[in-house]
Amino acid sequence: MNAAPADLLLYGGRILTMDEAAPVQQAVAIRGGVIQAVGSDAELRHLAGSQTRLIDLRGHTVIPGLIDTHAHMDREGLKRLLPSLAGARSIAEVLARIRQEVAQKQPGEWVVTMPLGDPPNYADVPGCLAEQRYPTRWELDQVAPANPVYIKGIWTPWNVPPSVSIANSLALQRAGIDRHTRPPHPSVVIDRDAQGEPTGIFFDYNTYPVVEFTLMRVVPRFTHADRVQALRESMRLYNSVGTTTVYEGHGIAPEVLQAYRAVWDAGAMTVRSHLVLSPAWTSLRQAAEDLARWSALVSGYGFGDDMLRLCGVFLQLRGQRHVARLRSAALPFTGWAGFAETYNPAPRYRALLRLAAQHQVRVHTLAASLAELEEVLQAFEAVDAEFPLAPRRWVLEHVRDVLPSHLERMRRLGVVCETIPLTHLWLRGAAYLGDARRAARALPHQDFRRYGIPFALGTDNKPYNPFATLWAAVTRRERRSGQVLGPAQRLSRLQALRAFTLGGAYFCGQEARLGSLAPGKLADLAVLSDDVLRVPSERLPTLQAVLTLVGGRPVHDSGVLNGA
């Protein structure tokens, strides 16, 4: 043990180290941004020097900093730039919110709000309104006759399609939309009244909405300054729930990468961020040229420092051709997505995988449905025959339905799986009701453990609090019925916590430096508002951090431990 005085000594707590040999300790000492020692209060007392900052934990539980492996962190702050309609339970209440916003604007200025409904999922709309319907353009006109108004549609991954957005008459006029306007694709519906006039309501049935990229492209978009401001706020919020590292495996478009670079340049990063590139390739030749240039930056576990690292590429099998075409036309703007949407038929997808393997670039891909997982595994196996994948830790994202026959193949390929239990078990778990066999193979966390398949958990930013996701992995309850889906696959709380710490560290290729509280590892930790292993189950989703450290530096402090 290093006997030099610690910079910081936290004592009198319940330290969940994630170390099986010494799982629970009382104190942790930090020196030079790394863990110096963990042990009992008595064992670490000698490390308290005259300059050591002492923090009495007062019995609070301490865990390693949480690692969100599907974070979409940049979105959380963006949500807070726009007025919220959360809690509105009637059209009159919606109009009152719009009136308040109009009062702060000059005539002609845009009023753009968040969607109808309540975050993070915006579920049960318009059923949450007393009228059981959406407001129309004419109703919005009553409170905003001289201002264009646009109520954004939900980002459909927060819930499910359709995404419903609403514009008032002046907004429609600015967009050039009238009774003769036709939608850009049959998946978009322009709602009309009995006389054929647009009501201002748009129904977008795409997986990723296209209305703001086509019909309503006139709506003000997020600026670079918006994204930088929002990213700083996002980091503050993620730190407040104990998240110290994120992995953006779904990919980051250039406009989001530029925001990260600005925050990094300012020395303001408080969440370690591993960013995967989101290319908008239109040909294999372009992909080959870019991968040859990028390989020095994104090969292996990537290039960067402890706070910002580029690592790998996201590749989509198929997708929606028309969505990719319509959204790509608006690049560099990506809206809520933050990534580019592409369409890759199977032959091109396989060729892209091979190119990535040639350049040692780690691949991240979606594998949600059974058919998609099967096709992805076949494509991976074809690459594996030429470029062994096991050491490369290629990533399967949004893993949902898995057959027993897939498990051994996944283990042999050395893939790393990311799951989002709150989305697929709680929010959308109704798909498994009445089908026990299918529920038992959904997000098969215990099967992953038995087969030795590494996995980690992601929030998908809905909500950003990882303890809600942890709760979903532990309880596996569907939101309406309360039914437990696949009870044999439930994780214990400690197992779920390990997935959010050690699992996340492995996902990042940083298991030697992150994921547990052990001497020599980076001093990332969270002091919790309650004991994650003992708090009643219904309170798990609301756990917070009272103190969060990144590299031994406080990045969140609620004041609960002040004066200790």
All structural domains of the chain with their residue ranges: 1-65+515-564, 82-213, 225-514
pLDDT band at 563 (very low <50, low <70, confident <90, very high): low
Q: Which helix (H) or strand (E) holds 528?
A: strand 525-528
CA 323, CA 376: separation in Å to the nearest integer? Answer: 21
- From the list 165, 166, 167, 164, the residue with the least C-alpha distance to 147 is 167
Quote the mean pLDDT of the chain. Answer: 97
Whether the per-residue pLDDT at 496 is higher than 50: the answer is yes
Q: Which two tokens stand for residue 29?
A: 């000492």
Whether the per-residue pLDDT at 1 is higher than 70: the answer is no
pLDDT band at 519 (very low <50, low <70, confident <90, very high): very high
**Model pLDDT for residues 499-514, shown as the tens digit of each residue:** 999 999 999 999 999 9
**Model pLDDT for residues 232-262, shown as the tens digit of each residue:** 999 999 999 999 999 999 999 999 999 999 9
> What's the confidence (pLDDT) of residue 174?
98
Question: What is the arithmetic mean of pLDDT over 298-310?
Answer: 95
Whether the per-residue pLDDT at 275 is higher than 50: the answer is yes
**Model pLDDT for residues 47-58, shown as the tens digit of each residue:** 999 999 999 999
CA 495, CA 67: separation in Å to the nearest integer? Answer: 14
Q: Domain 225-514 belongs to what topology?
A: TIM Barrel (3.20.20)
Alpha-carbon separation of residue 222 from 228, 243, 337 (angstroms):
10, 25, 12
- From the list 85, 121, 113, the residue with the least C-alpha distance to 460 is 121
Q: What share of the chain is helix, strand, coil (3-state, %, to 5)?
A: 35, 20, 45
Residue 283 CB-half CA count within 13 A:
3
The residue that leads in pLDDT, 1 or 513, is 513
Q: Which residues contact 7 (CB under 8 A, 6 or more apart)?
A: 30, 31, 32, 51, 52, 53, 552
Share of the chain above pLDDT 90, in %: 98
Strand-strand pairing, 525-528 and 545-550:
antiparallel
pTM of the model: 0.97
CA 245, CA 62: separation in Å to the nearest integer? Answer: 16
Summary count for the chain: helices (H), strands (E): 18, 24
> What's the confidence (pLDDT) of residue 564?
45
Question: What is the arithmetic mean of pLDDT over 117-121?
Answer: 95
CA 521, CA 523: separation in Å to the nearest integer? Answer: 6
Residue 450: other Cβ atoms inside 10 A: 11
Question: What is the arithmetic mean of pLDDT over 5-13?
Answer: 98
Q: Which residues contact 445 (CB under 8 A, 6 or more apart)?
A: 419, 455, 473, 489, 490, 491, 495, 499
- Where residue 398 falls (left for φ over 0; alpha for ψ -120 to 50; beta otherwise) is left
The DSSP call for residue 392 is: G
Residue 47 CB-half CA count within 13 A:
27
CA 247, CA 504: separation in Å to the nearest integer? Answer: 8
What do you get for the CA distance between the two ends of the chain, in Å? Answer: 26
**Model pLDDT for residues 383-441, shown as the tens digit of each residue:** 999 999 999 999 999 999 999 999 999 999 999 999 999 999 999 999 999 999 999 99
Q: Which residues contact 223 (CB under 8 A, 6 or more apart)?
A: none
What residue type is assigned to position 523 of the chain?
A
Whether the per-residue pLDDT at 355 is higher than 50: the answer is yes
Alpha-carbon separation of residue 190 from 178, 183, 369, 381, 501 (angstroms):
10, 7, 30, 44, 46
pLDDT band at 553 (very low <50, low <70, confident <90, very high): very high
Q: Which residues contact 498 (CB under 8 A, 6 or more apart)?
A: 18
CA angle 104–120–163, rounded 5-degree value: 80
> What's the confidence (pLDDT) of residue 3?
84
**Model pLDDT for residues 361-383, shown as the tens digit of each residue:** 999 999 999 999 999 999 999 99
- From the list 241, 157, 237, the residue with the least C-alpha distance to 470 is 241
Q: Does domain 1-65+515-564 sit in CATH 2.30.40.10?
A: yes
β-bridge partners, 149 = 111
